[in-house]
């Protein structure tokens, strides 16, 4: 672990938690069983990233498109979310800050209340930042930021020529955070699926042939090792 720890310190890692349903179907189980197992992997990855000295993690938990799934599956995911939010107060003891990314409007009132409590309760924490993307979509986030800036222009508090990349980023759900260095996608898929579209401009993308419920600490070690082999030029030579 020592080598991985040296390589992981200070990173912002994004996780596209993919393959829960396929994992369950391969075992003749309901898709909801895959989400339950995936939630356990999520919790372990949070603990391991903390041990490695990772600065921030962003987990893609529920996208704006996931509402199209069967209602029973959506209900199961929301039940897991409630359980996580209830347990997440333990993370305060570890000095982690928890931030929910996404449009909270369509979520149930009890979930929104839990989210507000946990964000407020961990706001002053200075440990690892845990972003959980719920009802999140990269395009929606960019549209949300554009509308916020348009309102400021309309109100006369901002000139159009004052809008630059930094000003725009200040209106994103991740305002004030560093962009992700590494984005992982288990399950073998090779696309971002509307995840952190603005922030991932120069992130290193690693896809892995393992379904999320089977994802282990060793897989994360391998992804970080691959990341460190990359030559990040950021448009330079």
Specify binding-site residues for Mg(2+).
18, 204
* Rg of the chain, C-alpha, whole Å: 18
Question: Which residues fall in the annotated binding site for substrate?
Answer: 19-23, 31, 35, 63-65, 67, 69, 185, 191-193
Structure tokens at 152: 């400021």
List the end-to-end C-alpha distance of the chain, in Å, as a whole number: 32
Instruction: Please return the burial class of 214, using the count of CB atoms within 10 Å of its CB with bins 0-12, 13-18 and 19+.
Output: middle
Catalytic residues: 18, 66
Task: Give the residues across from 133 on adjacent strands.
Answer: 60, 101
What is the number of alpha carbons within 13 Å of residue 180 lying toward its C-beta? 28
């Amino acid at each position: 672990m020592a080598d991985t720890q040296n390589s992981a310190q200070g990173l912002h890692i994004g996780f596209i938690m993919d393959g829960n349903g396929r994992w369950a179907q391969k075992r003749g189980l309901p898709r909801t069983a895959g989400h339950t197992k995936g939630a356990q992997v999520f919790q372990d990855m949070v603990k391991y990233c903390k041990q490695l000295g990772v600065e921030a993690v962003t987990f893609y938990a529920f996208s704006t498109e996931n509402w199209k799934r069967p209602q029973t599956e959506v209900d199961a995911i929301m039940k897991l979310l409630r359980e996580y939010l209830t347990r997440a107060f333990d993370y305060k003891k570890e000095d982690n800050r928890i931030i929910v990314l996404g449009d909270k409007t369509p979520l149930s009132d009890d979930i929104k209340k839990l989210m507000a409590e946990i964000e407020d309760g961990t706001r002053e924490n200075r440990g690892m930042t845990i972003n959980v993307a719920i009802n999140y979509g990269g395009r929606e986030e960019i549209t949300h930021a554009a509308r916020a800036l348009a309102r400021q222009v309309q109100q006369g508090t901002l000139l159009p020529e004052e809008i630059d990349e930094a000003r725009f980023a200040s209106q994103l759900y991740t305002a004030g955070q560093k962009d992700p260095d590494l984005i992982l996608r288990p399950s073998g898929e090779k696309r971002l699926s509307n995840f952190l579209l603005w922030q991932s401009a120069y992130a290193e993308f690693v896809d892995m042939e393992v379904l999320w419920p089977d994802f282990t600490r060793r897989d994360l070690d391998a992804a970080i090792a691959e990341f460190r082999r990359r030559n990040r030029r950021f448009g330079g030579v």
